[in-house]
Amino acid sequence: MGKLKVLMASSEVVPFAKTGGLADVAGSLPLALEEAGIDVRVIMPKYASVKSKEDEAIIGKGIKVYFVKNDDYFNRKELYGDKFGDYPDNIERFAFFSREVLERCKREDFKPDIIHCNDWQTALIPVYLNTLYKFDPFFANTKTLFTIHNMAYQGVFPKEEFPKLGLDWALFSIRYFEFYDKVNLMKAGLVYSDAISTVEGVLKTREDVLSGILNGIDARVWNPETDKKIYKKYSAVDPDDKGINKEKLQIETGLKVDREIPMIGLISRLADQKGLDLLAKIISELLNTKVQFILLGTGDNKYHVLFERMAKMYPKNASINLKFDAVLAQRIYAASDLFLIPSRYEPCGLGQMISFRYGAIPVVRQTGGLKDSVAEFDPKTGEGNGFTFSDYKAEALHSAIKRGLNLYRNRAVWEELVRKVMTLDYSWKASAKEYIKLYDRISGVS
Ligand code: ADP
Q: How many CB atoms lie within 10 A of CB 308?
A: 12
In 3-state terms, what secondary structure has residue 218? coil
What contacts 311, CB < 8 A, 6 or more positions away?
318, 319, 320
Identify the pLDDT of residue 206: 58
Q: Cα–Cα distance between 240 and 398 in angstroms, integer?
A: 27
Contact 268, 303 (CB under 8 A): no
Residue 441 CA to ligand 1 centre (angstroms):
32
User: Please, where are the H alpha helices in 165-320?
Assistant: 185-192, 201-204, 242-253, 276-287, 301-313
What contacts 229, CB < 8 A, 6 or more positions away?
326, 327, 330, 331
Q: Looking only at Cα atoms, what is the longest distance across the chain?
A: 67
Identify the pLDDT of residue 111: 98
What CATH number labels 5-216+428-443?
A: 3.40.50.2000
Q: Is 326 in the pocket of ligand 1 (CB under 6 A)?
A: yes
Residue 46 CA to ligand 1 centre (angstroms):
20
Q: What angle do CA 104, 107, 111 make, to 5 degrees?
A: 75
Identify the pLDDT of residue 203: 62
Residue 387 CA to ligand 1 centre (angstroms):
20
Q: Cα–Cα distance between 80 and 391 in angstroms, integer?
A: 32
**Exposure string (b/e) for 226-254, b if CB count within 10 Å is 16 or more?**
ebeebbeebbbeebebbebbbbbbbeebe
Q: Which atom of ligand 1 is nearest to the CA of 18?
A: 12
What is the distance of C-alpha 174 from the center of its chain? 31
Contact 405, 291 (CB under 8 A): yes
Q: Which atom of ligand 1 is nearest to the CA of 273?
A: 3
- Cα distance between the two ends of the chain: 13
Q: Cα–Cα distance between 174 and 6 in angstroms, integer?
A: 31
Q: Is 269 in the pocket of ligand 1 (CB under 6 A)?
A: yes
Q: Which atom of ligand 1 is nearest to the CA of 350?
A: 6
Q: Which atom of ligand 1 is nearest to the CA of 269?
A: 20
Question: Domain locations in the chain?
Answer: 5-216+428-443, 239-422
Residue 163 CA to ligand 1 centre (angstroms):
34
Q: Cα–Cα distance between 405 and 260 in angstroms, integer?
A: 12
Identify the pLDDT of residue 115: 98
By most ligand atoms within 8 Å of CB, the mutation choice from 11, 269, 426, 431 for ligand 1 is: 269
The amino acid at 185: L
Residue 271 CA to ligand 1 centre (angstroms):
11
Q: Is 218 in the pocket of ligand 1 (CB under 6 A)?
A: no
Q: Which atom of ligand 1 is nearest to the CA of 22?
A: 2
Q: Take atom 26 of ligand 1 and give the residue whose Cα is closest.
A: 326
Residue 160 CA to ligand 1 centre (angstroms):
33
Identify the pLDDT of residue 1: 64
Compute the half-sphere exposure of residue 13: CA atoms within 13 Å on the CB side of its CA: 32
Q: Which atom of ligand 1 is nearest to the CA of 346?
A: 3
Residue 339 CA to ligand 1 centre (angstroms):
13
Q: What angle do CA 431, 37, 147 make, to 5 degrees?
A: 40
What tens digit of pLDDT does each residue of 346-377 get?
989 999 999 999 999 999 999 989 999 999 99
Compute the half-sphere exposure of residue 371: CA atoms within 13 Å on the CB side of its CA: 16
Q: Is 27 in the pocket of ligand 1 (CB under 6 A)?
A: no
Residue 21 CA to ligand 1 centre (angstroms):
5
Identify the pLDDT of residue 209: 58
Q: What angle do CA 401, 404, 405 make, to 5 degrees?
A: 90
Residue 305 CA to ligand 1 centre (angstroms):
20
Q: Take atom 20 of ligand 1 and give the residue whose Cα is closest.
A: 268
Q: Is 333 in the pocket of ligand 1 (CB under 6 A)?
A: no
Name the E strands within 274-411.
292-299, 318-321, 338-341, 361-365, 387-389
* Among candidate residues 384, 428, 426, 379, the one with its CA nearest the CA of residue 406: 379
Q: Take atom 24 of ligand 1 and give the residue whose Cα is closest.
A: 324
Q: Cα–Cα distance between 30 and 119 in angstroms, integer?
A: 17
Q: Which atom of ligand 1 is nearest to the CA of 341?
A: 6
What contacts 37, CB < 8 A, 6 or more positions away?
3, 4
The ranges of the chain with pLDDT < 70 are 1, 201-209, 445-446
What contacts 209, CB < 8 A, 6 or more positions away?
none
Q: Which atom of ligand 1 is nearest to the CA of 326?
A: 25
Residue 138 CA to ligand 1 centre (angstroms):
37
* Cut 0.75: pTM above it: yes
Residue 103 CA to ligand 1 centre (angstroms):
31
Q: Which atom of ligand 1 is nearest to the CA of 150?
A: 3
Residue 134 CA to ligand 1 centre (angstroms):
37
Strand partners, 340: 363
What contacts 284, CB < 8 A, 6 or more positions away?
310, 313
* Among candidate residues 341, 359, 204, the one with its CA nearest the CA of residue 274: 341
Sheet holding 63-68, edge to edge: 56-59, 63-68, 39-45, 5-9, 114-118, 143-148, 195-198, 211-212
φ, ψ at 152 (rounded to 5°): -75, -20
Contact 60, 30 (CB under 8 A): yes
Q: Cα–Cα distance between 421 and 386 in angstroms, integer?
A: 9
Q: Is 296 in the pocket of ligand 1 (CB under 6 A)?
A: yes
Q: Cα–Cα distance between 144 and 146 in angstroms, integer?
A: 6
CATH superfamily of 239-422: Glycogen Phosphorylase B; (3.40.50.2000)
